[in-house]
Structure formats: C-alpha cells, structure tokens
C-alpha cells in the first residue's frame, strides 16, 4: 500500500513539476540508483542518476525528494497531494522549448513556484541563453525572473 501511495505521489509531483506546459497529465517513467519512502515524513526520495521522463519533459538530477500530504476534498474524502519537489545536484530540466540547468531545483506545487539555483543557472531557448545564480518561475502567471548577482543574456530572435 505504501509503495502504491508513493508511486501516486511521484506521478502527481512530476505532472506539476515544471514550467511551460508541463502541467499536462501523463505517464512518468522514473529511474534512479535507489528509492526510499519515509511515510512518517510523507517523503519519497530517489537518489543517484535520477531521470524522470514524461511525454512533455525530462528532469535529471542526483537526488529528487517529493513531499506530500493529505488534503480534504470538496466531497469530504481525503486525497494525497504533492506539496514540494526538490532536486539536488546536476539538475537539468528539458522541455520541447527550453533547457534549464542548475545545482538545485525547488518546486512549491501548491503555489506554482519553481526556483532553480546554483553557481551558474542557465536557461536556454533556441539560441537565446540567459545565465545567473537563481531562476524564479511563477508557473501560474508565466513570470520568469533571473536574480542573484550579475545576469548575462545572449538574445537571438527566432
């Protein structure tokens, strides 16, 4: 039962995990060197060469932690929902339109906020490249902000 619950949490997490149309439902294939479920903390942890693939995107990192919780639905039933997704180490998020790289990635699912941080965070769209130390994405409002010191960009029209 715990493994089934964990798999459901992971699927929901990845459905909500990334920007640019990545809220679409779909299957998630996850591979990693190890898997751990900590029910008391509502955490699922994948470690070592983590690769999460959906039809619309791929996320790679050294470690991925999904935190969930139970939420009461309008019909009174309880449902397990994803609260956060955290990736650590060599993070790469690839969509059909963009590639984002950094050292860490934190997704607040409930508030539709994504933060990718590191010594050199890169957002590449086509030939356009934006670099900084922290990429903040408001998924609900399609608002992107690069912060954390000097930001460099090479903008090439499509």
The per-residue pLDDT for range 41-82, each reduced to its tens digit, is 999 999 999 999 988 889 999 999 999 888 888 999 998 888
- What number of CA atoms fall less than 13 Å from residue 26's CA on the CB side? 17
Residue 150: what pLDDT?
92
Higher pLDDT, 13 or 128: 128
Residue 26: what pLDDT?
52
Among 13-27, 37-51, 99-113, name the one with the lowest average pLDDT. Answer: 13-27
Using an 8 Å Cβ cutoff, are 126 and 143 in contact? no
Q: What secondary structure does DSSP assign to 92-141, as a single string?
A: EEEESS-EEEEEEEEEETTTTEEEEEEEEEEEEETTEEEEEEEEEEETTT
CATH superfamily of 2-153: Lipopolysaccharide (LPS) transport protein A like domain (2.60.450.10)
* Arithmetic mean of pLDDT over the chain: 84
pTM to 2 decimal places? 0.80
Q: How far apart are CA 18 and CA 31, in angstroms?
A: 18
**What share of the chain in percent tops pLDDT 70?**
83
For 87-107, how does the pLDDT look when each residue is reduced to its tens digit (9 = 90+)?
999 999 998 999 999 999 998
């Amino acid at each position: 039962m715990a493994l089934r619950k964990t798999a459901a949490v992971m699927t929901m997490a990845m459905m909500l995990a990334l920007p640019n149309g990545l809220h679409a439902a779909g299957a998630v294939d996850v591979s990693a060197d190890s898997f751990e479920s900590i029910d008391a903390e509502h955490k699922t942890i994948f470690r070592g060469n983590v690769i999460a693939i959906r039809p619309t995107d791929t996320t790679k990192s050294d470690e991925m932690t999904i935190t969930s919780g139970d939420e009461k639905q309008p019909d009174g039933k309880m449902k397990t929902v994803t609260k956060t997704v955290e990736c650590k180490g060599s993070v790469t998020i690839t969509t059909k339109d963009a590639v984002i790289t950094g050292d860490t990635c934190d997704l607040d699912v409930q508030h539709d906020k994504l933060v990718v941080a590191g010594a050199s965070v890169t957002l590449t769209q086509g030939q356009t490249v934006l670099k900084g130390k922290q990429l903040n994405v408001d998924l609900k409002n399609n608002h992107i902000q690069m912060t954390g010191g000097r930001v460099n960009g090479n903008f090439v029209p499509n």
